[in-house]
Amino acid sequence: MAVATNLSRREFFRAGAAASGGLLVAFYLPLAEASQAGTSFAPNAFIRLRRDGSITLIVGRSEMGQGVLTSLPMLLADEMDADWKRVRVEQAPALPAYANPLMHINLTGGSNSVRGSWIELRQAGAVARTMLIGAAAQRWKVKASDCDARSSYVIGPRHQRLSYGALAMAAASQPVPSKVTLKSPEEFSLIGRPIARVDTPIKVNGRAVFGIDVKLPGMMHAAVARSPVFGGKVKSFDPAPAKAVAGVREVVQISTGVAVVAEHFWAAKQGRDALRVEWDQGALGDLDSGEIERMLSEAGDKPAVVAQRIGDAQRAQASAAKTIEAIYRLPYLAHATMEPMNCTADVRPDRCDVYAPTQGQTPALREAMRITGLPAEKVNVTTTYLGGGFGRRGMVDYVVEAVEVSKALGRPAKVIWTREDDMRHDAYRPVNYSRLAGGLDRNGNIVAWQHRIAAPSLLQDLQGHRPPHDLDKYAVEGAVDLPYAIPNQQIEYALVAPGIPVHFWRSVGHSYTAFVVESFVDELAAAAGKDPYEFRLKLVEGARRYRNVLMVAADKAGWGKPLPTGVGRGIALHNSFGSYVAEVAEVSIEGKGEVRVRRVVAAVDCGTIVNPNTIEAQVQSAIVYGLSAALMGEITIRHGGVVQHNFDDYPVLRMPQMPKVEVYPVAGGPPMGGIGEVGVPPIAPAVGNAIFALSGKRVRNLPIRPKDLA
Amino acid sequence: MLTLTINDKRHRIDVDPATPLLWVIRDHLGMTGTKFGCGAALCGCCTVHVEGSPIRSCVTPVMLVAGKRITTIEGLRSAAGHAVQQAWIAEEVPQCGYCQSGQIMSATALLAQTPHPSDEQIDAAMAGNLCRCGTYQRIRAAIHRAAATLGRA
């Protein structure tokens, strides 16, 4: 049975909203199409149907590996009943018509691409289908309600058939419906099936164009010298040694440092390395990790801003039969996308073209407008493929550099960061200090839970000032919304501002709160003398979706069944971005205390499943990303700058360390959750808990160090 | 002037002979399938074949490979290369895709040397190729698949 939806009104820049009276989808005719009017049917910003039956579907989110270039067109094509084989996809320009419906700007993040566009894109597809059916019905002189559509054909009541291509022009003159009927799940033809990614073929033959691959006629290459101390500024520089390098053309000062411009990148880098810059170090020249640790523990050891209070945790703690306390510490982390930051810009007096592997088209557009003084319609932001994002590419510092360099040169310029630049001038996952206290009653039930988090604030960095009441929702997410029915809870936050830049990092606050919460729940289970799985299961009684994933993960992992000698098993449960995930890790500890993760079983409930293939891939990916951090990831600070510089001192998981990962989707029904980040949070605690089960050693600091376990 | 033979095509190039092969391929010759990841032979994104063996082009001065037979992802036409690419498609390996040219070059070289690699041999051959999207499990499956395809041919 089909579901009718009422459509609400939304305004669009350059969009002919008057045409519809209120669909969610934008009615913007892409410029390229406008010039070929009469050759295609473009009912809205997302769909172009040509007379030959070929269909172009346009994707407003950035493709950074998470599969949106496939999953979003699936939403359009399913409701449109388009022949998937005739579909090609295109990355959208940075126009408001393609804004993220949940954020109202063009930005990819928050694991919300599919759930955020779930209604909008399906409506867009249904609009096209309705207009095509309307055109066919008119031609056949039958009622539209007696027609159906399938695989790019409209089928009439007497089994007449007309192809979408043949109907394209007639459909274009149909009235745009103000209301459409969306399919019910059993009517889906693409949604829910493991559809092959559309970008695989060009990613196995080297033809996919990433930001770093952009080529423009007359383009120069640039490498930038940036302050080794965060917040430092150029005092003076001597361009002569750089200019002495063959191929170097110019040396220009920009807002982030000094750019060396050359005919080829290697010359630019050689020139950059030869350049002599005097830096004004600013305020942070003496800052190191030890000092940051002191700031965190000082703030975390005294009362702070209350983020959540349920019951009276202090009183419950005082009267508990058994109490435990613990301190957890997590480090700064770099994003370390495989493709280092880069951007290409072409600034001219009357226009600016930006080609960027970015998650943040609107921030890129705004920065380009600010730097060039050009209005929005004179600035084009083209999104290339992204060689990883993980939150890093929501920032646009690399765009600022390319636009400034191109503006200074008056010709196209590509700025490429080396790996060292990327590692040392990232904005990092915040460092974290958590102090916990828990109380159990005589029967081993948790009666008191106190959690104080001392950490830098992402909001402070994003907004340029401390958040209201010094409370940052990102710092406490995953801590204030526990899966467990604990009657007395107090969660506090102490904002610490050491000055090291911080930013969203795959799963954001959950990346540390899940480790702390799920490890400490395990500590309480041990203190109560209970099995950690049974302990959790009882705590989520009545919470269906938590319970389901916990049970599926435990069942598939064979929880309770004997393991080989020297292997331990741990479990963790977490909710982030609207999805419920339980993971079980099996680990062993090798010779000198090295942790080997042998197998991970994940059960994931992200609500409605659009592409099961993507879900498996994203959860595998998240587990690897989280394992890299848990086992090896640490950024440390010395003299106000980052110590690590490349993959030798910031190691990440390699093939020989890859565990066997099994992913089990659990269809929990609506509302829909995210998928890109949700597998990260539970992996570190699952591993830590497995280490405890195996060795009796409790992991409270990340990364897990062999010397702590040897 | 140096003469390079890349993908069976000869190029005469006027370049500082210490320039890493990677930047000659990318900037001078405009072939961008080979990627820059670390500049220090730590990540494998820049892997190409020289006389059939995988090397990290980001640390290989171009003068060392003048006159040798160089193959990049764009010129991967061997049976093993084709089988690997097809297996990569069948197993849906790539996510962001940035490291995959290097992964495929390493995997192809492995299969040319070891037609039926064990998991341990795959670990050893692929340990130098990082993937931040974590596609390792599918890479492993794809290598086994490509080996099976080649075994049947």
Tokens of B32: 């961008």
Domain identity same for B97 and B122: yes
pLDDT at residue A26, as a whole number: 46
- CB distance B148 to B118 below 8 Å: no
Is residue B9 domain-shared with residue B55, that is, in the same domain? Answer: yes
| Residue A218 near chain B (CB below 8 Å) | no
Q: Please determine, for residue A8, whether its predicted confidence score (pLDDT) is greater than 50.
A: no
Q: Please report residues of B whose CB lies closer than 8 A to that of A333.
A: none
- Which residue, among B24, B60, B121, B137, would best test binding to A if mutated, counting the most A CBs under 10 Å from its CB? B137
Does residue B126 sit in the same domain as residue B86? yes
* pLDDT over 90, % of chain A: 93
* The pair of three-digit structure tokens given for residue A473, joined into one six-digit string: 């929702």
pLDDT of residue B152: 78
Work out the pLDDT band at A38, boundaries 50, 70, 90. low
**Does residue A279 register a pLDDT over 90?**
yes
pLDDT at site A23: 42
Biggest CA pair distance of chain B:
46
Binary contact (B35, A339; C-beta < 8 A):
yes
Kindly indicate the confidence band of residue A18, based on its pLDDT and cuts at 50, 70 and 90.
Answer: very low
Task: Look at residues A547, A529, A527 and name the one whose alpha carbon lies nearest to residue A539.
Answer: A547
Q: With cut-offs at 50, 70 and 90, classify the pLDDT of residue A2.
A: very low
Tokens of A584: 């079980």
A268 touches chain B (CB under 8 A): no
- Identify whether the C-beta of residue A578 lies closer than 8 Å to the C-beta of residue A674: yes
Spatial CB neighbours of A158, under 8 Å, sequence gap ≥ 6? none
User: Does residue A32 carry a pLDDT above 90?
Assistant: no
Q: Is the pLDDT of residue A566 over 60?
A: yes
Residue A217 has pLDDT above 80, yes or no: yes
Selection from A701, A695, A700 nearest residue A593 by Cα: A695
Contacts of A336 in chain B (CB under 8 A): 132
Using a CB–CB cutoff of 8 Å, tell me whether A208 touches chain B.
yes
**Which pLDDT does position B100 carry in this prediction?**
98
Interface subset of A 395-454, CB within 8 angstroms of B: 416, 418-420
Angstroms from A54 CA to nearest CA on chain B: 23
pLDDT at residue number A138: 98
Inspect the interface and report whether the beta carbons of A647 and B38 lie closer than 8 Å: yes
Considering the domain architecture, whether residues B49 and B21 belong to the same structural domain is answered as yes
Rounded mean pLDDT, A643-651 = 98
Q: Do B93 and A204 touch (CB under 8 A)?
A: yes
Q: What's the CATH code of the domain at B137? A: 1.10.150.120
DSSP per position, A565-598: TTEEEEEEEEEETTEEEEEEEEEEE-TTS-EEEE
A552 pLDDT higher than 70: yes
pLDDT of residue A20: 33
A395, A362 in Cβ contact below 8 A?
Answer: no
Q: How far is CA B14 from CA B6, B18, B24, in A?
A: 15, 12, 10
Q: Which of B30, B73, B85 sits opposite A215 (nearest CB)?
A: B30
* Domains and their CATH numbers in chain A: 3-191 (3.30.365.10), 211-282+341-416 (3.30.365.10), 289-333+428-709 (3.30.365.10)
A652 interface with B at CB cutoff 8 Å: yes
Query: Which run of H or of E encompasses A56?
Result: strand A55-59
d(CA A58, CA A44): 10
Interface contact A204-B28, CB threshold 8 A: no
Q: Are strands B9-13 and A248-254 parallel, antiparallel or unpaired?
A: unpaired
Burial class (CB in 10 A: 0-12, 13-18, 19+), A186: exposed
Q: Using the beta-carbon criterion (under 8 Å), do B130 and A212 form an inter-chain contact? A: no
* Residue B152 distance to chain A (closest CA, Å): 22
CATH of the domain at B50: 3.10.20.30
**CB distance from A613 to chain B under 8 Å?**
yes
Q: Where are the alpha helices (DSSP H) in A209-312?
A: 240-243, 265-274, 289-300
Q: Would an 8 Å CB–CB cutoff place A655 in contact with chain B?
A: yes
**Interface contact flag, A204 B100, Cβ < 8 Å:** yes
> Of B134, B83, B137, which Cα lies nearest the Cα of B107?
B83
C-beta atoms of B104 and A660 within 8 A: no
**Beta-carbon-side half-sphere exposure of residue A623 (alpha carbons within 13 Å):** 32
CA-only gyration radius of chain A, Å: 27
- Mention every residue, 6+ apart, whose C-beta is less than 8 A from residue A290: none
Q: Is the confidence at residue A401, as pLDDT, over 50? A: yes
For the segment A246-256, the average pLDDT, to the nearest whole number, is 98
Same domain, B67 and B84: no
> Cα-flanking dihedrals φ and ψ of residue A417, to 5°?
-90, 140
Average of pLDDT values for A458-471? 97
Boundary-marking domain end, from B14, B47, B73: B73
Kindly state the average pLDDT of the residues A615-640. Answer: 98
Beta strand ranges found along B1-153 (DSSP E)? 2-6, 9-13, 47-50, 53-56, 69-71
Cα B148 to Cα B80, B91, B138, B141, B153: the distances in Å are 11, 13, 15, 11, 9
Answer yes or no: are the C-beta atoms of B79 and B139 closer than 8 Å: no
Q: Which two tokens stand for residue A619?
A: 């959860």
A33-42, A228-237, A383-392: range with lowest mean pLDDT: A33-42
Interface contact A210, partner B, CB < 8 A: yes
pLDDT the model gives residue A203: 97
pLDDT category at A5 given cuts 50, 70, 90 is: very low
pLDDT above 70 as % of chain B: 99
* The pLDDT of residue A142: 98
Shortest alpha-carbon distance between residue B128 and chain A (Å): 8
For the cut 60, the answer to whether the pLDDT of residue A37 exceeds it is no
Q: What percent of chain A has pLDDT over 70?
A: 95
| A453: closest CA of chain B, how far (Å) | 29
Cβ distance B127 to A617 less than 8 Å, yes or no, reads no
What is d(CA A470, CA B143) in angstroms, rounded to the nearest whole number?
52
Interface test with A, best of B13, B24, B27, B85 (most A CBs within 10 A): B27
Average pLDDT, chain A: 94
Summary mean pLDDT of chain B: 97
Which distant-in-sequence residues (6+ apart) come within 8 Å of A414 by Cβ?
A212, A214, A216, A219, A220, A221, A222, A265, A342, A343, A344, A402
Would you call A206 an interface residue with chain B, using a CB distance cutoff of 8 Å?
yes
Per-residue pLDDT at A15: 28
What mean pLDDT do residues B25-50 have? 98
Cβ <8 Å between A338 and B35: yes
Q: Are B49 and B93 found together in one domain?
A: no
Cα dihedral sign, A383-A226-A267-A218: positive
Considering the domain architecture, whether residues B100 and B68 belong to the same structural domain is answered as no
Is there a single domain that holds both residue B84 and residue B148?
A: yes
Question: Could B73 and A206 be called an inter-chain contact, meaning their C-beta atoms sit closer than 8 Å?
Answer: yes
Shortest CA distance from B58: residue in chain A: A266
Q: How many residues does chain B have?
A: 153
> Do the Cβ atoms of B119 and B140 come closer than 8 Å?
yes
Q: Which A-chain residues 657-676 have CB contacts (< 8 A) with chain B?
A: 658, 660-661
Residue among B32, B42, B132 minimizing CB distance to A646: B42
Say which residue, A670 or A456, is predicted with more confidence.
Answer: A456
pLDDT of residue A710: 79
State the Cα–Cα distance between residues A372 and A434, nearest whole angstrom: 45
Of A63, A338, A621, the CB nearest to B99: A338
Longest Cα–Cα distance of chain A, Å, equals 82
Q: Of A261, A266, A650, which to mutate for an interface test with B (greatest number of B Cβ within 10 Å)?
A: A266
A and B: number of Cβ contacts within 8 A? 177
Q: Which pairs count as long-range contacts for B50-58, CB under 8 Å and 24+ apart, including other chains?
A: B52/B109, B52/B112, B53/B109, B54/B105, B54/B106, B54/B109, B56/B128, B57/B20, B57/B21, B57/B22, B57/B25, B58/B20, B58/B21, B58/B22
Cα(A477)–Cα(A451) distance, rounded to whole angstroms? Answer: 12
- Between CA B84 and CA B89, with CA B85 as vertex, the angle to 5 degrees is 115
* Interface contact flag, B138 A204, Cβ < 8 Å: no
Q: Which residues of A touch B122 (CB under 8 A)?
A: 655
Query: CA neighbours within 13 Å on the CB side: how many for A208?
Result: 31
Mutate to test the interface with A, among B58, B98, B118 (most CBs of A within 10 A): B98
Beta bridge partners of B47: B56
Are B48 and B101 part of one and the same domain? Answer: no
Closest CA to A572 of A620, A621, A612, A535: A535
Residue A394 in tokens: 């929501």
What range does the domain containing B25 cover? 2-73
| Residues on chain A touching B76 (C-beta within 8 angstroms) | 205
- How far away is chain B from the Cα of A69, in angstroms, using its nearest Cα? 11
Whether A438 contacts A323, CB under 8 Å: yes
Strand segments, DSSP code E, in A255-362 are: 257-262, 276-280, 305-310, 322-330, 342-347, 352-356
Residues from chain B that touch A212, judged by Cβ atoms under 8 A, are: 32, 35-36
Question: Is the pLDDT score of A35 beyond 80?
Answer: no
In the beta sheet, which residues pair with residue B6? B9, B70
The token pair that represents A489 in the structure block: 């809870």
Give chain B's domain count. Answer: 2
Q: Do A419 and B37 touch (CB under 8 A)?
A: yes
Last residue of a domain, one of B10, B43, B73: B73
Using a CB-CB cut-off of 8 Å, the residues of chain B touching A265 are 23, 26-27
Q: Rounded to a whole number, what is the distance in Å from the CA of B11 to chain A's nearest CA?
A: 17
Q: Which of B29, B34, B36 to mutate to test the interface with A (most CBs of A within 10 A)?
A: B36
Closest of B79, B145, B55, B92 to residue A204, by C-alpha: B92
Stretch among A37-51, A215-229, B10-24, B59-73 having the lowest mean pLDDT:
A37-51
Domain-terminating residue out of B73, B95, B121: B73
pTM score of the predicted model: 0.95
A306 touches chain B (CB under 8 A): no
Q: What is the pLDDT of residues A94-139, one digit of tens each?
A: 999 999 999 999 999 999 999 999 999 999 999 999 999 999 999 9
From B65's Cα to the closest Cα of chain A, the distance in A is: 17
Q: Are residues B85 and B148 in the same domain?
A: yes
- Do B47 and B97 belong to one domain? no
Is A265 near chain B, with CB under 8 Å? yes
